[in-house]
Amino acid sequence: MDWQLFGLSFITVFLAEIGDKSQLAAIALGGSLKSPRAVFFGTVTALILATFLGVLVGGGVAHLLPARTLKALAAIGFAIIAIRLLWFSPTEQEK
């Protein structure tokens, strides 16, 4: 096993997941229900399954497209998101 890649993956996902809406949902469920253990195992299972599907899809796409093309597509996607966030404020979209 590549422990450096394992550590990088762990840190990246851990930091990305702190404070996101799935964590807030787990907090709300854990605080309002009688079985926090069931909430824990449910949320862990969901995160594992979502990550597994992401890795499978990513691996499949990596076999179809070269790494340079994938990086370019990711950069274009992030640029589009950034432009939308900068140009269109939420109040303008509601009008």
pLDDT, tens digit, 9 for 90 and up, residues 58-75: 889 889 999 899 899 999
**Domain map (residue ranges) of the chain:** 1-64, 66-95
> Do residues 27 and 21 make contact, with C-beta atoms less than 8 angstroms apart?
no
C-beta neighbour count of 39 within 10 angstroms: 19
> Do residues 43 and 22 make contact, with C-beta atoms less than 8 angstroms apart?
yes
- The reported pLDDT for the residue numbered 69 is 92
pTM higher than the cut 0.75: no
Residues 6+ apart with CB under 8 A from 23: 17
